[in-house]
A and B are shown apart, each in its own frame.
Chain A
């Protein structure tokens, strides 16, 4: 089955919690964020890396969706 329908495999998942302190636009940011780093083995057997940043509300939404998936699995 895996050979027929391959949407890619999650190889690595890393995260970091950080706070933006300052930037060229603002000297007092103090904004928390989550950085996520994902490695995926695609259907051509190539590893691609993706990184993205989430604000706390975005992360909560992101995490909630995984919780919902987990709850669905529990019902199976």
Chain B
């Protein structure tokens, strides 16, 4: 794992029990993991009273360094023992290593999942609702009897921005859409077999 000197220095700062006491240490680690999962923001780092005794610049450096460390290790799916070894190399005590390891155990899957859907362009479909309607009459035609599917897609962009895509489709149009989706699915299966 390629980590810059700044990141390694920041991790080493976490081993300094005089500069960063246990309550501050726990608060930093907790905030780092929850910021990545967007359950907290960076400003929450300074909400803890214990943090006031720590130099702000050192605190920010340590925080950003550990965020990078989490992201880099999750990007390559670094295993628990390798993470522990790296932390040990940078002088962290066994109790602090255990504390960090527990966080990795708890949030590994969630962070990996979160990283896999991090997207800067297109929204993701998070929900699909459909309804089948039968139109019987209209102002123009006395007898219609036309089946129409209404599709409602709920999308999500980064920062939890939700959107809606709504459209109507005839049976033929819907079948065409289903065939195209199946075709895409087959292509994915083929490419995953190759890799």
Contact = CB atoms under 8 A, between A and B. Distances in A.
Contact of A16 (B128, B130, B138): B138
B138 A19 contact: no
Interface stretch (A21-29, A39-47, A58-66, A67-75): A21-29
Interface residues of B, number: 16
DSSP majority for the A interface?
strand
A19 B134 contact: yes
Interface string B115-156: 000000000000011111111111110001001100000000
A13 B138 CA distance: 11
B146 to A, nearest CB: 9
Interface string A1-42: 000000000000111111111111100010001010000000
A21 B140 contact: no
B140 to A, nearest CB: 7
B133 A19 contact: yes
Contact of A21 (B128, B133, B137, B139): B133
Contacts of B135: 16-18, 35
Interface residues of A, number: 16
B138 to A, nearest CB: 4
Contact of B137 (A16, A20, A33): A16
Contacts of A35: 135
Contacts of B134: 18-19, 21
B133 A17 contact: no
B129 to A, nearest CB: 6
A23 B148 CA distance: 12
Given A19-B133, A20-B133, A21-B133, A14 B128 contact: no
Contacts of B137: 16-17
A24 B154 CA distance: 14
B131 A20 contact: yes
A13 B140 CA distance: 11
Interface of A: 13-25, 29, 33, 35
